[in-house]
Amino acid sequence: MMNETFTKSTVKLLFLVVAIIGIFSSCKKEPVKPTPNDFTFEVRENLGASLNEAIFNNNEAFKILDKDDYADNVYFYMDSMMKQAANLYRFNNTDSGWSQDRIWESFVIQNDDENYAFCVPGGNFYISTGFLKEIQEDFELYFVMAFELTMMQEEAVLDKLYSLGIEDIAAISYGTVEPGDLSADDVVLSFIDPTFIYDTSVIQEVDKLTMDYICKSSDYNRFGIIDLIENSDMQGLWFQTRPSYANRNLDNLSEIEMDDLSDCGNRKRTGLYESLVLQYLP
């Protein structure tokens, strides 16, 4: 009798253990959000290459201003600015896998109806003709470039990619996307999606990092965003994804504390933005 009771108890315990194991084994682990350092050079380059290809293959949404036709004016100026803006970051971040030999280019999208700018992983910068025509001075454009470069390197871009599904992003990076999965085209369009709103605290932090970046990489005035806000109708896509700008006191932006003001310049214009970009844009 005792053996029978023992056997029944053992069987019950065995079933309980099996059930618990089944429950835990059926639970899927949540994907772990990567850090900026996990977003390695290889992943950035591969993902950037896929996104660049998607942009150039989507001529309906992204009609790129021809590099050869505007090599001596628009792109001469834009790529010079981009090289200056990118150099400091590249040389300060070799430990995280950034290549100092990587040439970061700028591309102009022929779209006067929408105002937007974004960087893709790997470093290329895209901006619409509509946004370029709203920008009035060199230091405003430099702020936008530096802001997007900073956004791409910090947690903000990882938040965006993570929201799309980090496993899909990894699949795109390594060229293993399956039919029905998130495509490179989906990711590109997400960069100009007005429904993706950056958190106010994120924008404030990126503003400070951007201003510090501008001071260390140029002699431009660091407050290009203030003039851009004052001269803008705030209706463009770039501002729609950053709605906190519309509600922020410009005095607060001008009072952002810097670690070292001795590096900060005060140049606002060179005359080249007007003569090489605005006068040549179609």
Cβ contact 98:220 at 8 Å: no
Q: How far is CA 230 from the centre of its chain?
A: 24
pLDDT of 26: 42
* Residues whose CB falls within 8 Å of the CB of residue 56, separated by 6 or more in sequence, listed in order: 62, 64
Condensed to tens digits (0 to 9), the pLDDT of residues 215-247 reads 888 899 998 888 888 887 767 788 888 877 766
Neighbouring-strand partners of residue 127: 108, 117
Percentage of residues of the chain with pLDDT beyond 90: 30
Condensed to tens digits (0 to 9), the pLDDT of residues 146-165 reads 998 888 776 677 677 777 77
- pTM for the model stands at 0.81
Residue 48 has pLDDT above 90, yes or no: no
Residue 3 has pLDDT above 60, yes or no: no
The enclosing H or E element of 253 equals: helix 250-254
Amino acid identity for residue 279 in this structure: Q
Condensed to tens digits (0 to 9), the pLDDT of residues 67-78 reads 999 999 999 999
